Amino acid sequence: MKTPRAVPAEQRVRHPTEVRRQLIVRAALDLMAERGISGVNAREIAKQAGVSPGTVSYHFASVREILAEAITVTIEEYYATLTAGIQQRTPTEALRALIDALFTDDTERHWRLWFEYWWSGNSDEDFAARQAARYADWHAQIHAIIAAGCDADEFSCADPDEVTVRFVALVDGLALQWLRGAPSLTAEQAREHLHRFVVDSLMPAPNS
Amino acid sequence: MKTPRAVPAEQRVRHPTEVRRQLIVRAALDLMAERGISGVNAREIAKQAGVSPGTVSYHFASVREILAEAITVTIEEYYATLTAGIQQRTPTEALRALIDALFTDDTERHWRLWFEYWWSGNSDEDFAARQAARYADWHAQIHAIIAAGCDADEFSCADPDEVTVRFVALVDGLALQWLRGAPSLTAEQAREHLHRFVVDSLMPAPNS
Amino acid sequence: MKTPRAVPAEQRVRHPTEVRRQLIVRAALDLMAERGISGVNAREIAKQAGVSPGTVSYHFASVREILAEAITVTIEEYYATLTAGIQQRTPTEALRALIDALFTDDTERHWRLWFEYWWSGNSDEDFAARQAARYADWHAQIHAIIAAGCDADEFSCADPDEVTVRFVALVDGLALQWLRGAPSLTAEQAREHLHRFVVDSLMPAPNS
Amino acid sequence: MKTPRAVPAEQRVRHPTEVRRQLIVRAALDLMAERGISGVNAREIAKQAGVSPGTVSYHFASVREILAEAITVTIEEYYATLTAGIQQRTPTEALRALIDALFTDDTERHWRLWFEYWWSGNSDEDFAARQAARYADWHAQIHAIIAAGCDADEFSCADPDEVTVRFVALVDGLALQWLRGAPSLTAEQAREHLHRFVVDSLMPAPNS
DNA sequence: TATGAATGAGAGTTCATTCAT
DNA sequence: AATGAATGAACTCTCATTCAT
């Protein structure tokens, strides 16, 4: 998860723009995870990336752009991880895998960056639109799994829409408590709570 | 050791420190609600409060202190409002009143400031400790209502702790979706969802 | 040597201007000795004196004036101490007493303040004139003792003026090394050096 | 996170850091000599150096650092001048050359800056350590000349250590009187006094 | 493509002084 | 005589951005 901090300094390499952009974005991500968004500035990004401030400006129009790009990358990677665990399983297994992937030590960084960035006031319209779409996707994916489970009689659900909203809200709310750290909720506890929620809401006692 | 300036005075209004501090905090809150936390600075606070920058520094040691104070005030007021609606009611009525008070246009500002400040990295240890205590209070209050309802046989609940955690997480998660604005959840929908959650979790069908 | 830091705060007393001025000057001296001249400001002087900033401004036209007054007081006291030890003695005893009074732990504060203030750029013409007169006095006093010793055949000196200049310069130079602290010269060593100087220059071997 | 400004550029001159640092230090020295240390600030240094305030900050971490560097340069140059006149001479000639180099109109600026800075409270530990070493060097150099003179029978001295301390103190004390300007001692008189001191202390009448 | 010295507006903070009370 | 809230210019330092090389 940590980008190596290679800073040759003497033998500076020329990279195609896309490669250099990625290196800079990775450097920015490391800094953001370490010091928080307000602790990141152009000079530090340049130093972390092993290039001069001019190089950073050459490849990006502004620091804002770097941060937005970095957050986008973080979220893409996170969703890719989540989605990867879902494919080709029964709905029950899919939900279990999803919940287990949501809160891990690896994902804490993603959640933290995401929350912090969201409220930092740095997001522009373009970015907001993309994230809204991403969030709708996430919502739809949960809904699809639940609906499939209902269809296959794995789940017994009166209202899949209702359960979806509740599930998504619960995920965000538990994440918040987890990151906030008080009254301390561990990643494991958050996962267990979600598993219980699935059982309670979608798998009622067979004799009822 | 440099010669200082004269003071025109015009129409100086004098206030006791406590009054002036409150005026400055209110000015800061207005700015924070309008422009976000990163859009607030000492000069603007002074202008908004109708005083000179020196006056702000006279009453507060730092801008950070103003922001922390402002957020504290916001939260205190919000919790006071919530708590006011709870007293002297049956548990069922108390929960209903609480939910209706949680998401209103008035409270949006509180939620927004609260989230933004939380992630801004401006909070110090002292502040964090106070907020953790406040959050624990909130948790305890919900738990008390639910437990009282169970004791009075208004609610039927297997595990009050479980329900409390779920309720609190749901509140935060719905608030997040509401403020985030995508996929747009209105305050009314959030309230309705919570009301349904109470019915589902605490008031099962009587014949069961 | 330390002014007590009485700060009643509740029961503030009214003092005649001269008394209040002295209290403020003493407070300023304590601060100057403790933190150096650049570490002293109007607010701190007021706090140390147990009065409000306004009171300081009421009694003094400027901070500069307080500092000048404070240094003047310091020097007056120092010279009074030096002079006290000289009266009614033989020239030899007078010089000995003088040298012993020059460098003591008590006088370090006086020297330090004096040097620091001298170079701080705060001295105005009025102050400079008074200090020049004071310095001429000091010079004359040394000269008088030496001349008296020569007249009384206690000292054998070819040129009293010459010896006076050398003695005065030596005093200042040793003080500088002492305060500077490197290569460490103690107060005792400085005194001994001056005593040897007196013997060398004014009391040659009787058989020569 | 605020939008920055454009740069007019006009006639920007670019220098390697080391060159620019020296130019800034020279500018600071000019100001210090003219207005005293307390009259120097970052803005003025920038203006004097013909650069923007930002450029000053780019090359130095703080104003303090500039002042310390400036004083160091001053002292280095002064000692270099003194030392230059000493080499390859007899001890007698060396001392004469040294004394003549000590007090000249050129060196007044060095003495003044040195004294002023010493008491300004701006010096840090690092600086103090370096200056202590420099002062020890100076002491050692005087001692070496005197000892060489004694060995070569040019000087007749009972105690070279004693004479060294006295010589160094005399130099500082005379400098103080010279710069202080009251009771006015000229550079020429100071030099003459030191020459007489050398004759008195190290070159007694041949018949003794 | 990459550099890094240069920019300058603006940030937070300090502080001697004023003046209504 | 004493207060202390208020002032505002001036301070040092930051930093995203520019541009000649």
CB-based contact D169 C165, cutoff 8 Å: no
pLDDT digits (tens, 9 = 90+) for A175-185: 988 988 666 78
CA B112/CA B205 separation, integer angstroms: 37
Average pLDDT over residues B153-175: 92
Average pLDDT over residues A151-163: 91
Percent of chain B past pLDDT 90, that is, above it, reads 60
Contacts of D12 (CB under 8 A, 6+ apart): none
pLDDT at B63: 97
pLDDT digits (tens, 9 = 90+) for C76-130: 999 998 888 787 789 999 999 999 999 998 899 999 998 888 887 777 788 888 8
Q: What residue has its CA nearest to the C1' of E11?
A: B41
DSSP track, A150-178: HHTTSS--S-HHHHHHHHHHHHHHHHHHH
CA C178/CA C183 separation, integer angstroms: 9
Q: Is residue B159 less than 8 Å (CB to CB) from chain A?
A: no
Q: Are B69 and B108 in contact (CB under 8 A)?
A: no
pLDDT at C27: 97
Assign A85 a pLDDT band (cuts: 50, 70, 90). Answer: confident
Identify the residues numbered 39 to 78 in chain B whose C-beta atom is closer than 7 Å to any atom of strand E. 40-43, 53-54, 56-58, 61-64
Side-chain-facing half-sphere of C37: CA atoms under 13 Å: 28
List C-alpha distances in Å: A27 to A23, A129, B75: 6, 25, 36
pLDDT at C205: 62
Q: Are B172 and A178 in contact (CB under 8 A)?
A: no
pLDDT at C127: 85
Q: Are B86 and B98 in contact (CB under 8 A)?
A: yes
Q: Which two tokens stand for residue C30?
A: 């304590």
Q: Are C40 and C28 in contact (CB under 8 A)?
A: yes
Cβ-based contacts of C122 with chain B (< 8 Å):
1
Average pLDDT over residues C18-44: 95
What's the mean per-residue pLDDT of chain B?
A: 88
C1' (E19) to CA (C57) span, angstroms: 11
Residue A89 has pLDDT above 90, yes or no: no
Cβ-based contacts of B1 with chain C (< 8 Å):
38, 63-64, 120-122
DSSP track, D30-71: HHHHHH-GGG--HHHHHHHHTS-HHHHHHH-S-HHHHHHHHH
CB-based contact D173 C174, cutoff 8 Å: yes
Identify the residues numbered 38 to 57 in chain C whose C-beta atom is closer than 7 Å to any atom of strand E. 41-43, 53-54, 56-57
Residue D116 has pLDDT above 60, yes or no: yes
pLDDT digits (tens, 9 = 90+) for A32-80: 999 999 899 999 999 999 999 999 999 999 999 999 999 999 999 999 9
pLDDT at D21: 98
pLDDT at B208: 45
Q: Is residue A196 less than 8 Å (CB to CB) from chain B?
A: yes
Average pLDDT over residues A187-193: 94
Q: Which two tokens stand for residue D188?
A: 């020429």
Residue B193 has pLDDT above 90, yes or no: yes
Considering only residues A119 and A24, tell me which one the structure prediction assigns the higher pLDDT.
A24
DSSP annotation of C204: -
pLDDT at D197: 95
Q: pTM for the complete prediction?
A: 0.90
Whether CB of D16 is under 7 Å from strand E: the answer is yes
Residue C67 has pLDDT above 90, yes or no: yes
Q: Is the dihedral of CA B81, B85, B87, B93 positive or negative?
A: negative
Q: Which two tokens stand for residue C201?
A: 């220059």
CATH of domain B71-202: 1.10.357.10
pLDDT at A205: 61
Q: Are B187 and B178 in contact (CB under 8 A)?
A: yes
Chain F positions within 7 A of any protein Cβ atom are 1-21
Residue A6 has pLDDT above 60, yes or no: no
3-state helix, strand, coil in chain C (%, to 5): 70, 0, 30
Residue ranges of domains in chain D: 12-60, 72-202
Cβ-based contacts of C208 with chain D (< 8 Å):
208
Query: Could you identify the residue written with the tokens 């200056």?
Result: D131
pLDDT at C4: 41
- How many separate helices (H) and strands (E) can be counted in chain D? 9, 0
List C-alpha distances in Å: D95 to A93, B109, B170, D146: 96, 81, 89, 8
Residue C132 has pLDDT above 60, yes or no: yes
Q: Is residue C183 less than 8 Å (CB to CB) from chain B?
A: no
Q: What residue has its CA nearest to the C1' of F5?
A: B14
Assign A123 a pLDDT band (cuts: 50, 70, 90). Answer: confident
DSSP track, D162-189: HHHHHHHHHHHHHHHHHHH-TT---HHH
Assign C206 a pLDDT band (cuts: 50, 70, 90). Answer: low
Residue C9 has pLDDT above 60, yes or no: no
Q: What residue has its CA nearest to the C1' of F9?
A: B5
Say whether the B–C interface has 3 or more Cβ pairs within 8 Å: yes
Give the long-range contacts of residues B124-128, CB within 8 A, separation 24 or more.
Answer: B124/B64, B124/B68, B126/B68, B127/B68, B127/B71, B127/B72, B128/A182
Q: Are A183 and A84 in contact (CB under 8 A)?
A: no
Whether CB of A90 is under 7 Å from strand E: the answer is no
Considering only residues A148 and B124, tell me which one the structure prediction assigns the higher pLDDT.
A148
Q: What residue has its CA nearest to the C1' of E21?
A: B14
D82 alpha-carbon distance from chain centroid: 10
Cis peptide before B183 (omega within 30 of 0): yes
Cβ-based contacts of D1 with chain A (< 8 Å):
63-64, 120-122
pLDDT at D205: 62
Q: Is the dihedral of CA C54, C59, C65, C66 positive or negative?
A: negative
Side-chain-facing half-sphere of C100: CA atoms under 13 Å: 9
DSSP track, A70-84: HHHHHHHHHHHHHHH
Residue A2 has pLDDT above 50, yes or no: no
Topology of the domain covering B14-60: Arc Repressor Mutant, subunit A (1.10.10)
Query: Could you identify the residue written with the tokens 């209110």?
Result: B26
C1' (F16) to CA (B108) span, angstroms: 33
Topology of the domain covering C1-60: Arc Repressor Mutant, subunit A (1.10.10)
Identify the residues numbered 3 to 22 in chain A whose C-beta atom is closer than 7 Å to any atom of strand E. 12-17, 20
Chain B residue with CA closest to A139: the answer is: B183
Q: Which helix (H) or strand (E) holds C7?
A: none
CB-based contact D174 C173, cutoff 8 Å: yes
Q: What per-residue string of b and e applies to B29-59 under the rule 16 or more CB within 10 Å gives b?
A: bbbbbeebbbebeeebbbebbebeeebbeeb
Q: List helix spans (H) across chain B.
A: 17-35, 42-49, 53-59, 63-84, 91-102, 105-119, 125-151, 160-180, 187-202
Chain C residue with CA closest to B4: the answer is: C62
Q: Which two tokens stand for residue C114?
A: 């004096």
Cβ-based contacts of B205 with chain A (< 8 Å):
none
Chains that touch A (3 or more CB pairs under 8 A): B, D
Task: Tell which CATH architecture fits domain D72-202.
Answer: Orthogonal Bundle (1.10)
Cβ-based contacts of C165 with chain D (< 8 Å):
185, 193
Chain A, 116 to 155: residues with Cβ < 8 Å from chain D are: 120-122
List C-alpha distances in Å: B155 to A204, B140, B204: 19, 17, 8
pLDDT digits (tens, 9 = 90+) for B54-112: 999 999 999 999 999 999 999 999 999 888 878 778 999 999 999 999 998 888 888 88
Query: Could you identify the residue written with the tokens 């090394």?
Result: C177
Residue D103 has pLDDT above 60, yes or no: yes
What's the mean per-residue pLDDT of chain C?
A: 88
Q: Are A32 and A111 in contact (CB under 8 A)?
A: no
pLDDT at C163: 94
CB-based contact B139 A115, cutoff 8 Å: no
pLDDT at B49: 97
Q: What residue has its CA nearest to the C1' of E16?
A: B4
Q: Is residue D96 less than 8 Å (CB to CB) from chain C?
A: no
Distance from CA of A137 to the nearest CA of B (A): 10
- The nt closest to A53 (CA vs C1′) is E4
Q: Are B157 and B94 in contact (CB under 8 A)?
A: no
Cβ-based contacts of B167 with chain A (< 8 Å):
none
pLDDT at B106: 81
Q: Is residue C34 less than 8 Å (CB to CB) from chain D?
A: no
Contacts of A154 (CB under 8 A, 6+ apart): A90, A91, A92
Q: What residue has its CA nearest to the C1' of F17?
A: D4
List C-alpha distances in Å: C131 to A72, B203, C123, C140: 72, 93, 10, 14
Average pLDDT over residues A15-21: 95
Distance from CA of B90 to the nearest CA of A (A): 26
Identify the residues numbered 24 to 83 in chain D whose C-beta atom is closer than 7 Å to any atom of strand E. 51-55, 57-59
pLDDT digits (tens, 9 = 90+) for D126-179: 888 888 888 889 999 999 999 999 999 999 888 999 999 999 999 999 998 888
Whether CB of D4 is under 7 Å from strand E: the answer is yes
Chains that touch C (3 or more CB pairs under 8 A): B, D
Query: Could you identify the residue written with the tokens 């979706």?
Result: B177
Residue A88 has pLDDT above 80, yes or no: no
Q: Is the dihedral of CA C139, C142, C144, C147 positive or negative?
A: negative
Determine the residue type at D55.
T
- The nt closest to A59 (CA vs C1′) is E1
Task: Tell which CATH architecture fits domain D12-60.
Answer: Orthogonal Bundle (1.10)
Residue A8 has pLDDT above 60, yes or no: no
Q: Which two tokens stand for residue B31?
A: 């700015």
Average pLDDT over residues A146-163: 92
Q: Are A88 and A49 in contact (CB under 8 A)?
A: no
Q: What residue has its CA nearest to the C1' of F11?
A: D41
Q: Which two tokens stand for residue B137?
A: 């209070």
Residue C162 has pLDDT above 70, yes or no: yes
pLDDT at B6: 37
DSSP annotation of B38: G
C1' (E10) to CA (D4) span, angstroms: 10
**Chosen from C143, C165, C184 to mutate, greatest number of chain D CBs within 10 A:** C165
CA B185/CA B177 separation, integer angstroms: 6
Cβ-based contacts of B193 with chain A (< 8 Å):
162, 165-166, 169
CB-based contact C172 D168, cutoff 8 Å: no
Distance from CA of C63 to the nearest CA of B (A): 8
CB-based contact A183 B39, cutoff 8 Å: no
Percent of chain A past pLDDT 70, that is, above it, reads 91
Chain E positions within 7 A of any protein Cβ atom are 1-21
CB atoms within 10 A of CB C46: 19
